[in-house]
Amino acid sequence: MKKLFKSAYDYLDERLHLEDLVHFMGKKYVPVHSHSIWYYFGGVSLFFFIVQVVTGILLLFYYKAGPDLAFESIQYIMSKVQFGWLIRSVHGWAANLFILSAVIHMFSVYFEKAYRKPRELTWITGMLMLFLGMGFGFSGYLLPWNELAFFATKVGSDIAGAVPIVGEPIKILMRGGPDVTGATLSRLFGFHVALFPGIFTVVLGLHLLLIQRQGISEPMHFAHLPQKEKKTMPFFPNFLLRDLLLWLVMLNILAILAVFFPAELGHKADAFGSAPAGIKPEWYFLFMFQSLKYLPAHILFIEGEVLGILLFGAAFALWLIVPFWDRKTARGEQNKLITYIGIFVIMFIIVLTILGWVA
């Protein structure tokens, strides 16, 4: 066996010069400090993305898009196909865990100010993937064509439609017409399984390339430490093995959740039925949904809803470009304001999510 590996390695090495790669890997280090734990969440997000790709492809073997087929095909997957319920539940849970771990990863990068020069583009590509992740969530939510999904899509696309000027064309583009119909299902299916994965893979490639090129960000206080006092750990194999162990833990958590709390299907969507009570979007949209609930119909001359959407849009845009306006951190100084803003945002999200949950 060992001999076989050796000859395979030699074969590849002769053609691809693997020595260079091994040398490069050997030189990669991960800083060790009190916040090192946060370094793992990027890898965990990657793990859940891989799970999504695998289970998504498996679901495609049986799923049929279309208002007369979608709900029934999921019923078929859940009740007839061997382990169909498991694959669908894993897909649903991994989607949620992906968003959760990507959000943790994002906030840890934010609080460590790891977005500072020269890693602005890594931050931007990461944020793009988080937005795409939410797009995956939104588009995937409709695919079972059940009541909850139908109205969530109606509300979500109507919110997009409330944006001045560009809103209406975006809404039509999302819905494939003025209303949520089978055309919307076809479109969101296309977004979910082709367009978004394509873009995501490119952005993910860029994100990983940037990390390889620039190395892992050191905390700000490392800059003042003499070289000797900077504790590090080799990426290969020390960090990678820890990473893989965590992936295994995550796989177990995923399996427990999928087995004990399997995905539900609910009732088939009916365009002529009333919205059911207790309708809620996915938890990661809940804080926005709840905030919009509190806004009155009109604030001065503008519709409350439109104002809310514009404020959220502005907040997201500012968050996205934080490496460019946080000049203080870029100069290597401590910027407490950024930390306070981050704490406020987390508190806001947690409080409104809880309020939305119990409402």
Partner 1 sequence: MSDLDSNQNRRSFLKYLLSTSVVGFLASVLYPIVSYLNPPKQNEVEVSSVLAGKISDFEKDSGKIIRFGNKPVLVIRTEKDEFKAMSAVCTHLDCTVQYKKEMGLIWCACHNGKYDLNGKNVSGPPPRPLDMYQVNKQGDNIFVSKKA
Q: Which residues bind partner 1 (CB under 8 A)?
A: 151, 154-155, 157-159, 172-173, 176-177, 179-180, 183, 271-279, 292-293, 295-298, 303-305
* 248-273 residues labelled b (16+ CB within 10 A) or e (exposed): eebeeebeebbeeebbebeebbeeee
8 Å CB contact between 293 and 355:
no
Shortest separation between residue 159's beta carbon and partner 1, angstroms:
6
Query: Which of 183/244 has CB closer to partner 1?
Result: 183
Query: Which of 280/328 has CB closer to partner 1?
Result: 280
Query: Which of 120/158 has CB closer to partner 1?
Result: 158
As a whole number of angstroms, the distance between CA 93 and CA 287 comes to 20
Shortest separation between residue 118's beta carbon and partner 1, angstroms:
31
Query: Which of 35/298 has CB closer to partner 1?
Result: 298
What is the Cα gyration radius of the chain?
23
- Other CB atoms within a 10 A radius of the CB of residue 314 amount to 10
Shortest separation between residue 298's beta carbon and partner 1, angstroms:
7
Query: Which of 189/235 has CB closer to partner 1?
Result: 189
Shortest separation between residue 269's beta carbon and partner 1, angstroms:
11
What is the DSSP-derived secondary structure letter of residue 178?
Answer: S
Shortest separation between residue 337's beta carbon and partner 1, angstroms:
33
8 Å CB contact between 91 and 55:
yes
Shortest separation between residue 344's beta carbon and partner 1, angstroms:
25
As a whole number of angstroms, the distance between CA 151 and CA 352 comes to 21
Query: Which of 18/292 has CB closer to partner 1?
Result: 292
Asked if the bond preceding 118 is cis, omega within 30° of 0, the reply is: yes
Shortest separation between residue 128's beta carbon and partner 1, angstroms:
21
Backbone angles phi, psi at 267, to 5 degrees: -100, 150
As a whole number of angstroms, the distance between CA 262 and CA 85 comes to 7
List, as one string, the DSSP characters of 250-296: HHHHHHHHHHHSPPP--SBP-TTSPPPTT----HHHHHHHHHHHHS-
Query: Which of 256/271 has CB closer to partner 1?
Result: 271
Residue type, 109: V
Shortest separation between residue 181's beta carbon and partner 1, angstroms:
9
Query: Which of 177/313 has CB closer to partner 1?
Result: 177
Show the tokens assigned to 152. 């969530």
